[in-house]
Amino acid sequence: MVGNWLKTSILMAGIVVLFGSVGAALGGAGGMMIALLLAAAMNVYAYWFSDKAVLKMYNAREVDASSAPEFYQMVKELAQNAQLPMPKVYIIDEAQPNAFATGRDPEHAAVAATTGIMRILTQRELRGVMAHELAHVKHRDTLISTISATIAGAISSIAQFGMLFSQGRDRAVHPAVAILIMILAPIAAMLIQMAISRAREFEADRAGAEISGDPTALAAALKKIHSYAHQIPLETAEQHPETAQMMIINPLSTDGIKGLFSTHPNTEERISRLMAMAS
C-alpha cells in the first residue's frame, strides 16, 4: 500500500514538472505558471474523478442484483472472501473478452467486465477473473492505475497545449521542438505505465487465486482471454492506449508501434505460476 502511494505521489509530481517545463519552454514565465495551475487541477481531477472518466470512456453500465443477479452475486461473494466492501459492478458491451478494476480506494472501487468475457468463460473461470480484479482493489493498485491512465491521456495532448502558447509570441516555437514533444511525451507516459504494471499482475494473479480458491480456473481463463483478445479488437482501447494497462490481458493489437508498449507480463508465465500454485 505504501509503495503504491509513493508511486502515485511521484506520478503526480512528475506531471507538475513535465507541464511546468513545457510551459516554460514554450510560453516563458507566464506559460510555466499557467501550465503549473493546469497540472495541479489535473491532479485533483485525476484523484477524484478518473475512475468515472474511464468507465464513461468505455460506456460501462452499472448493474445490480436485479439487472445481473448471477454476476453481481459472484462479485459480492468474492468481495466477502477478500474482506472488501462491495464494489460497484459494471458491464461493458464489447465483444473482446476483458475486465478491469478502478477506483481510488476499496471504499470507492468498481469492477467491470465485457459481455465478451462473460460469454466465453465458464462461471468458474469468470469467478477467477473477478477475484483477480478484486485483488487489485485490495492491493490499492487501482489508484495509480486509473490516475496514470488519465494523466497519460492528458500528456498525449501536451503538444497542442504548447502550440497554444506559441501563438502570438515574437519567437515562434521551432517545429522540431513541437514534434519532439508530440512524440516523446506519450512514450514517456507509456514507459511509466510499463514500470507499474508488470509485477502487480503476477501479485494480483496470486492473490486472486487465493480469493477464489481456484488457481486453475484463473489459469484457464487467462489462456482463453489471451487467445480471443488478439482476434477481436477493442476500439476504445485502440483509441486510448493509455487505458490498456488496466485490463487483465493487453487489449491492444500487437501490430506496429503499439506492440512495443505491452504493459502485461507474458501470459504463459502467468499461467505457469498459477499452475504451480495449484500443484
Q: Enumerate the active-site residues.
A: 133
Tell me the residue ranges of DSSP E strands in 79-214.
88-92, 99-102, 110-114
Strand 99-102 with 110-114, pairing: antiparallel
C-alpha distances in Å from residue 227, one per residue of 79, 132, 204, 248, 250: 28, 18, 20, 13, 11
CA dihedral 195, 118, 126, 120 (to 10 degrees): -90
Provide the 3-class DSSP secondary structure of residue 62: strand
Give the residue from 205, 181, 186 showing the smallest Cα distance to 244: 186
Q: Which residue has the cell 493498485?
A: 141
Give the residue from 279, 267, 239 showing the smallest Cα distance to 94: 239
